[in-house]
Structure 1
Amino acid sequence: MDRLKAMQTFVQIADHGSLTGAARALDSSLPAVVRSLAALEAHLGVRLFHRTTRRNALTEEGRHYLQSARDVLAAADAADFALKAESRELAGQLTITAPVLFGHMYVAPAITRFMQRHDKVRCTVLLHDRKVDLLEEGVDVGIRISPLDDSSMVAQQLGTIRSLVVASPDFLRRNGEPRHPRDLAHAPCVRGRVDGPSQWTFHEGTRVHTVPVDGRLAFNHIAPAIEACAAGMGYGRFFSYQVLPHIAKGRLQIVLPDFESPSRPVSVIYPHARLMPARTRAFVDWMKQEFSGFAL
């Protein structure tokens, strides 16, 4: 039995939830995948999956073994890369996704500089304000502004951003500046997403305050919501990178700074323990260098 190949098969079954999905991802036959899993389970002396007609669910032993298998495969990939990278010119297709505004302001310029150094790499950049499933949508690398909640992904933190409540100076002159989050409960608030939260969470040391918010305006994009706040339509809550230019120009002002939520991580993410092309690994390293010390 090729143990590395068997581990790779096991990880693919776990990631795709089925033997068929793993066979497709590995460009292998279904019988070969079945034999590989059976050989690995026989070698370990445990069952790794509960078999059902619809999905293969990990057993308790399988969950423990999964992380070890990922670590072994990642180490093997890293060893191969270290030997081959120096002698290999980067080439091929790279697909990257990022949030729309953050991608426009920060990610796209970094990608452009990367491409200027590697003229044989082709790159497609997908800017979406939804959580893209990298495995399902065939994306190599994602930039995400939130903690990682997918165990099939690796996240390497690039920096942090803050979540700020803002309003226009004119609005604050007319309505007074809030002193506590509860002051927003009956105040006009502008939401940057139609389906966004109808309550905002604030932190005061170890205490958490959750405040219901409402207002006459809700948008499905951030930019017009920010403009509405700057025009005096109410309070808005946005990521720091989205409003810092407006704050610098005096169009918006931060309120309730002592009740800010903890900063959110900005991370580069990619599929876990999958054979990573040299161009992908080089891009991840490039982004870590470009965003070194990034905090907004």
Structure 2
Amino acid sequence: MDRFKAMQTFVQIADKGSLTRAAEALGSSLPAVVRSLAALEAHLGVRLFHRTTRRLSLTEEGRHYLPSAREVLLAADAADLALKAEAREPAGQLTITAPVLFGHMYVAPAIVRFMQRHEKVRCSVRLYDRTVNLLEEGIDVGIRISPLEDSSLVAQTLGTIRRVVAASPAYLAQHGTPRHPRDLAGAPCVRGRIDAPAQWLFRDGGKTISVTPNNRLEFNHLAPAIESCAAGMGFGTFFSYQVMPHVAQGRLKLVLEDFEPPPRPVSVIYPNARLLPARTRAFIEWMKMEFSGLRL
């Protein structure tokens, strides 16, 4: 059995969701694909797919095996590229993800400058306000505002971003400016995400303290939450870059700055592969240059 070819077959079946479509993608016959999968399952001693006449789905063992198989194939592809002339010049498709607003304000302009410098690179940019699985979703590089929890990825810190509390000057003039996080108890607050943490965290004398906000108004998107705070609906907690334009315009004011939690790291993340395509290496270095010393 050609184990490498069998892994390719397995990944294609998982990606295409069909033996027939996998055979077409591989330029092979359906019987050959079936034999390759059967040989791999016999070698591993487990079934990788549940198969019926109408449906094909991964087993639990198949779901565990898929990320490892992808890494083997990616490493092999990277090794091949390292020996080719193309590997010395950034070229080809690069898929990038970032948080929606941060991506719009900071990442997208940096990508435009990168592409102007490297004309043979094509980019697909996906902006999501959720944790993205790079390997499963076929993404080369991500920009993340949080500590890295996935040990299969590499993270290089680009800078840090503060978590702040803001309210409108008019609201503060009418109700007073809080001096301590406990002053927020009972005060009206605006929630920018339905799945946001139930408590707001602060630092007081080296200790972490928490406050349960009185969320009078909730949104599943940040933009209307920020606008509502600016309209005087109460306090909101946001990343600093999300509200700084409004602070600069005098529509919002930061409070409790002495009690802010530690800043969050902003990192460029990518799969833990020794050999990366030149376009990926070049983009990582570009982002490190663009965001050097970032403090927001």
User: TM-score, structure 1 length as denominator?
Assistant: 0.70
| Alignment match, 1:214 | 215
Name the SS for the 2:38 alignment partner: helix
Residues 145-182 of structure 1: per-residue CA shift (max 9 Å, x gap): 4567889x846344443322222344334323435545
Judged with a 3 Å threshold, the aligned counterparts in structure 2 of structure 1 residues 235 and 4 are, in CA distance, closer, same or farther, namely same
8 Å Cα contact 1:98/1:126 also seen in 2:
yes
| Alignment match, 1:244 | 244
Alignment of 1:38-117 (within 5 A): 38-44=38-44, 46-47=45-46, 49=48, 51=50, 53=52, 54-59=56-61, 63=64, 69-84=69-84, 89-117=89-117
8 Å Cα contact 2:101/2:242 also seen in 1:
yes
| Alignment match, 1:186 | 186
Question: How far 1:261 sits from its partner (Å)?
Answer: 6.7
What amino acid sits opposite 1:98 in the alignment? A
Structure 1 Cα separation of the partners of residues 141 and 218 of structure 2: 31
Q: Which sits farther off after the overlay, 198-207 or 238-247?
A: 198-207
8 Å Cα contact 1:181/1:211 also seen in 2:
no
**1:156 and 2:161 equivalent?**
no
| Alignment match, 1:258 | 259
Structure 2 Cα separation of the partners of residues 133 and 66 of structure 1: 13
Question: How far 1:235 sits from its partner (Å)?
Answer: 0.6
Q: Which sits farther off after the overlay, 157-166 or 253-262?
A: 253-262
Judged with a 3 Å threshold, the aligned counterparts in structure 2 of structure 1 residues 8 and 99 are, in CA distance, closer, same or farther, namely same
Judged with a 3 Å threshold, the aligned counterparts in structure 2 of structure 1 residues 247 and 266 are, in CA distance, closer, same or farther, namely farther
Structure 2 Cα separation of the partners of residues 182 and 17 of structure 1: 54
- Structure 2, unaligned runs of 5 or more: none
Name the SS for the 2:83 alignment partner: helix
8 Å Cα contact 1:202/1:261 also seen in 2:
no
Structure 2 Cα separation of the partners of residues 70 and 189 of structure 1: 45
Structure 2 Cα separation of the partners of residues 191 and 111 of structure 1: 31
Residues 222-261 of structure 1: per-residue CA shift (max 9 Å, x gap): 3443344244331111112212344466642132653527
Structure 1 Cα separation of the partners of residues 248 and 236 of structure 2: 17
Question: How far 1:118 sits from its partner (Å)?
Answer: 1.8
| Alignment match, 2:201 | 202
Name the SS for the 1:202 alignment partner: strand
Structure 1 Cα separation of the partners of residues 126 and 36 of structure 2: 36
Name the SS for the 1:243 alignment partner: helix
8 Å Cα contact 2:146/2:264 also seen in 1:
no
| Alignment match, 1:166 | 166
Name the SS for the 2:200 alignment partner: strand
Name the SS for the 2:171 alignment partner: helix
Name the SS for the 1:55 alignment partner: strand
Aligned pairs, number:
287
Judged with a 3 Å threshold, the aligned counterparts in structure 2 of structure 1 residues 87 and 262 are, in CA distance, closer, same or farther, namely closer
What amino acid sits opposite 1:291 in the alignment? F
Residues 45-78 of structure 1: per-residue CA shift (max 9 Å, x gap): x326363645222339x84x66654554443333
8 Å Cα contact 2:141/2:268 also seen in 1:
no
User: TM-score, structure 2 length as denominator?
Assistant: 0.70
8 Å Cα contact 1:181/1:259 also seen in 2:
no
Question: How far 1:114 sits from its partner (Å)?
Answer: 0.9
Q: Quick one: percent identity of the two aligned structures?
A: 60
Judged with a 3 Å threshold, the aligned counterparts in structure 2 of structure 1 residues 4 and 148 are, in CA distance, closer, same or farther, namely farther
Instruction: Let me know the Cα RMSD of the aligned residues.
Output: 4.4
